[in-house]
Structure 1
């Protein structure tokens, strides 16, 4: 279980999930994707923790490993077919996902030769029934099941959707680099009235509600009064609580189909890491609804001056009803 105390400053940008590098469980990843990921991340100046020590230390992950997880901004978890065959892997995942739910850790799943649905519904090697029969593990298995479901619902990368491993590594590193840039908090303390604005907007968003409906909020007013600044402040405070998020730059004047298609592609690439390029605005709407409809997404559109801009990206308030 995650410790209640965390360091004020992060020691690492990325925690590269140790469970996928274990020689006794992770021979399918240790000498390929994980080593390539580590080299690619560090070469981009991204401080990455990768522990090659063994995890078989008892019924809990080591304090050293726990501190490394808590001291990271992001965790990259490589889920291979052998991943769930080790209970230490699942202990680590439980700790990672507890921090993710608390908004203290960004998590990026890599589905390596496994389908996200197999992880989500615990099929095949991800069936934890064998652990459930162990009386010593009866209390923790439900937590492992929940952790697997949670990570399967996050936006990440699946090897089956990439041309080759090099392409997959590049997409992961680019996404982590982008998220790292977005994570740097902006100091809004000197903006007059910002706390009042935040309270009002958060009340409208009703983040604590169990309602799955899409919330659309508009900030309206004459030019120069700080609408963009207020939106940036809200995004800065809330983005970590969402599965994925995207803040558009000023889109004023964008209304032609070609420009809207470019806008749709930017949204899909920045939230999913996929260069999908829909062939029409209508097709793009369907792709956005199907790919993002069951994710918790924060989308901020800056400079909206045409209804077509909203319709191209978030037309229907019931996107969550679309199938996965």
Structure 2
């Protein structure tokens, strides 16, 4: 199950998918929540069917789950007695693992431990399903695993003996509205090949785990699209975090303004207020003190010196549990020296991806329709060797040009490389050790 178009394009059909046991909360809490979300302009999927035929998820429901920006699970007392709810939960859990979908559990008059460890009503319901042959061993295992994993996520609890329901509804609606109001980062005009790579990086991030802090590195030469993919990852997973900072071009910024200004820029973005730092070590202490209990998504882009990492994200214990730190760099050794064990090495575009990107840039079409251009297009792809930046620059230069001009440019590039491509690759080359050069 994938949601490939949405990872990059963000064309969500729904903002929220509501998963709930109808008999428990349809005419109470969940119905009120749905009404208030709609009033706030939040596009919400609310399955209002009283009676179902069978227990399997319909294609329409599956599509609604996949095309929702986030899901809210209302765990009520009789939730686990519905095999339909459990099947929906398994699909939602898959979206967490594969796409980084944000999921909020709401424990409505039940303790999280009841759900997590399948005790009381939850344990009884599962035993009943097993005895009535409602599920085979594999399905029982998937239900229990999904219940345990989702119940471990950060959520909200409601006790009707102590809490006001309208306060919970208001809190949920306000938090969701804040999330969906976030403006995504600009990624790429033509995001060719990004979905597959975003999914690979998401697997390194272990988004379902909130009991640890994880640092990963994205490594590759200039022009491979490290910043582009980091932006795409940020957009895909940002909803899972309480605080967010994409700190672009740290290498250039620290040389131009000083590392203490980069520290201030980072904290200002995370906290949403202007922070001033006069001395680097003061900045280190402020970062540690401010962020140690916050779940942060921090992306440090274009790091090129060890000092930058040490003073911006020294160790994992600077950040609250569940935080993720993503570092993009041309320098693999820099990541290793900092103890970053999870590293994604950027892959060049394959032939099909290269052809698609070049076609979009040079012909404003997904494919080359004119057979006269096919041979020279293949020569360009072979020359570029999967480098996205080169495909974009050469494709843009060739837009609207005749076949003779294509051949002339390609011949010129083979003799004297394209200026802009050479400039960017030169930075990567100059950063290598002599033996690596």
Q: Same fold (TM over 0.5)?
A: yes
Note if 1:71 corresponds to 2:67.
yes
Q: CA deviation at 1:253?
A: 2.7
2:146 is the counterpart of 1:137: no
Q: Report the Cα distance in structure 1 between the residues aligned to 2:45 and 2:207, rounded to whole angstroms.
A: 36
Shift in alpha-carbon separation, 1:163–1:208, aligned structure 2, 3 A: closer
Comparing 171-180 with 210-219, which one deviates more in the overlay?
Answer: 210-219
| Alpha-carbon distance in structure 2 between the residues aligned to 1:218 and 1:61 | 38
1:37 aligns with 2:33: yes
Q: Are the equivalent residues in 1 in contact too, given 2:34–2:46 (CA < 8 A)?
A: yes
Structure 1 residues 59, 40: closer, same or farther in 2, change over 3 A?
A: closer
User: 1:288-318, CA deviations, whole angstroms, 9 ceiling, x for partnerless residues?
Assistant: 6xxx6xxxx634589xx9x99969x963689
**SS at structure 1 position matched to 2:181:** helix
How much has 1:232 moved relative to structure 2? Answer: 9.6
SS in 1 for 2:172: helix
Contact kept? 1:214, 1:318, Cα under 8 Å: yes
Q: CA deviation at 1:147?
A: 1.1
Q: Check whether the contact 2:71–2:103 (CA below 8 A) recurs between aligned residues.
A: yes
Q: Distance in 2 between matches of 1:178 and 1:120?
A: 28
Distance in 1 separating the partners of 2:130 and 2:48: 28
In the other structure, the counterpart of 1:178 is 178
Aligned to 2:342: none
Shift of 1:176: 1.5
**1:235-250 alignment to 2 at 5 Å?**
236-238=232-234, 240-241=236-237, 244-245=240-241, 246-248=243-245, 250=266
- Structure 2: runs of 5 or more not aligned: 219-225, 246-264, 268-274, 302-307, 323-437
Q: What is the CA-CA distance between 1:66 and the residue it aligns to? A: 2.4
Structure 1 residue 151 displacement after superposition: 1.1
Question: 1:271 — aligned with what?
Answer: none
Is the 2:101–2:237 contact (alpha carbons within 8 Å) kept by the matching residues of 1?
no
Residues 238, 133 of structure 1: CA spacing in aligned structure 2 closer, same or farther, 3 A cutoff? Answer: farther
3-state secondary structure, aligned to 2:52: coil
Determine the structure 2 residue equivalent to 1:282: none
Q: Which residue of the other structure, out of 114, 139, 157, is the alignment partner of 1:118?
A: 114
SS of 2:12's partner is: coil
Residues 66-116 of structure 1, C-alpha deviation per residue, up to 9 Å, x if partnerless? Answer: 232233222211111111111121112122222222116322211111111
Which structure shows the higher helix fraction?
2
How many Å separate the matches in 2 of 1:300 and 1:6? Answer: 22
